[in-house]
Amino acid sequence: GAVVSQHPSWVICKSGTSVKIECRSLDFQATTMFWYRQFPKQSLMLMATSNEGSKATYEQGVEKDKFLINHASLTLSTLTVTSAHPEDSSFYICSAYTGQGGTGELFFGEGSRLTVL
């Protein structure tokens, strides 16, 4: 299957700093990528849809100024958690969709675990 890579796998930062997480599709071009957040023992929550060359679409309740998304190319999307606080500590997962309509598959990165001290 298609490969989606995230970096870093884990990061620890101080409260008030910003953290950038990269998501790359290694063997296919992804016009659309998605960012999810997952708290312990909970399901994945869709945060935003990242569209190449345009602004991201955020889900209700997700602060766009807090979670900056940039989809600079067909193989790279970045999520920046700005002024991180301990409550932002979570598992962040990106994904990329390979198809058109309903026929494609969604491939996920390995996830990035953020811990804010």
C-beta closer to other proteins: residue 109 or 116: 109
Is there binding between residue 11 and other proteins (CB under 8 A)?
no
What is the number of helices (H) and of strands (E) in the chain?
0, 11
C-beta closer to other proteins: residue 17 or 27: 27
Handedness of CA 93, 99, 101, 102 (dihedral sign): negative
73-112 residues near other proteins, rule: CB under 8 A: 91, 93, 95, 97, 102-111
Contact partners, residue 72, CB within 8 Å, separation at least 6: 52, 78
Is there binding between residue 53 and other proteins (CB under 8 A)?
no
Residues of the shown chain interacting with other proteins in the complex, contacts defined by CB under 8 A: 1, 4, 6, 32, 34, 36, 43-46, 49, 91, 93, 95, 97, 102-111, 113
